[in-house]
Amino acid sequence: MKFTAGQIAELLNGKVEGNKDAIVTNVSKIEDGKPDTLTFLANPKYTQYIYTTQADVVIVDHAFTPEHPINATLIRVSNAYEALAKLMEMYEQSQPKKNGIEQPSFVDKTATLGDFVYVGAFAYVGENVKIGNNTQIYPQVFLGDNVTVGDNTIIYPGVKIYKHCKIGNNCILHAGAVIGSDGFGFAPDENNNFKKIAQIGNVVIEDHVEIGANTTVDRATMGSTLIKRGVKLDNLIQIAHNVEVGENTVMAAQSGIAGSTKIGKNCMLGGQCAIAGHLVIGDQTKVGAQAGIIKSTKDNGPALLGSPAFDISKFNRCYVIFKRLPELSAQLDSINKEIKNLKQ
């Protein structure tokens, strides 16, 4: 990577303030900026560092107004964070990609592979598997029988995709993800022993979905567990059988969604959320970290927090009270004693 500020500004449709010939060879965080690097300022909490950073070029919003002199060259854009993401994506796409089938690996003779596919060593590609063009299957990946993987998808080492599951185009599945394992379905018999219910459905992951490391998506009991277009799941998430996650919903690490719940589109779930089964979560629902959802929500409802979760504005008012419960309890004890003394 070696670019001038002028070249970067042209790629981002930005405007240079300073030395357009400043050269950068890498990127860095603004608080740890180093010479010959590019950084960005998007969060106002980091504004102080723009005056001391050693980075040579900083991407900022058009609206940014400096309060002190800045040594670095600025590139002004409409959205600094999006601009940096675009630049890094362009750089990533410019890197050479592997292709071909490494050995030892197993690719069943009935499998169909598109053009420029890479299959890493020790991967297993089962019967009737279909892999699209430009897709990368890294070492130790397991693709069960009748799995379909679309174009331009990346499946990182150790991912396991069980039989009949479908993965769309331009998806990324990170290391250790398990797609299509059995749903948690058991029924007690007359002796109160739990008998397994066969899970005969599959998982369907639509286009432009990213699944984090060690996240699990269970296959449906019947039908499909569905992860819709544009969903982003963090690491260590559990999606149970027959769940549907709506378009462009994002979910942070260690969240868990119980069976048959339907989550709407454009929702945002913080880390360690828990959502009970058989609920409907409305579009654009926002849930704070560690919240527990036990009833369905409406579209465009208030942000939720707490367990059980409720309106975050009410939660904040309640928090002012319950964090003072020890002293309130002491005051109540004191009042009770005074009343008792008065009665005597």
Is residue 58 within 8 Å of residue 50, measured between CB atoms? Answer: yes
DSSP conformational letter for 224: E
Residue 159, CA distances (Å) to 126, 142, 342 in order? 14, 6, 73
The yes-or-no verdict on residue 88 having pLDDT over 90 is no
Alpha-carbon distance 89 to 77, whole Å? 17
- Give the pLDDT of residue 93: 81
pLDDT digits (tens, 9 = 90+) for 191-244: 999 999 999 999 999 999 999 999 999 999 999 999 999 999 999 999 999 999
118-119 β-sheet, strand order: 100-101, 118-119, 136-137, 154-155, 172-173, 210-211, 232-233, 250-251, 268-269, 286-287, 304-305, 310-311
Is residue 127 within 8 Å of residue 106, measured between CB atoms? Answer: no
pLDDT, averaged across the chain: 95
pTM above 0.75, yes or no: yes
Contacts of 178 (CB under 8 A, 6+ apart): 159, 160, 162, 215, 216, 217
Domain ranges of the chain: 3-94, 100-315
Residue 294 CB neighbour total at 10 angstroms: 11
- Domain 3-94 annotated CATH 3.40.1390.10: yes
Q: Known catalytic residues?
A: 241
Domain 100-315 CATH superfamily: Hexapeptide repeat proteins (2.160.10.10)
- Give the pLDDT of residue 108: 98
The yes-or-no verdict on residue 41 having pLDDT over 90 is yes
Alpha-carbon distance 230 to 251, whole Å? 12
Q: Please, what sign has the CA dihedral across residues 322, 323, 327, 330?
A: positive
- Give the pLDDT of residue 281: 97
pLDDT digits (tens, 9 = 90+) for 114-134: 999 999 999 999 999 999 999
Same fold flag, 3-94 and 100-315: no
pLDDT digits (tens, 9 = 90+) for 147-192: 999 999 999 999 999 999 999 999 999 999 999 999 999 999 999 9
Alpha-carbon distance 248 to 227, whole Å? 10
Alpha-carbon distance 139 to 175, whole Å? 10
DSSP conformational letter for 327: H
Contacts of 7 (CB under 8 A, 6+ apart): none
- Give the pLDDT of residue 97: 86
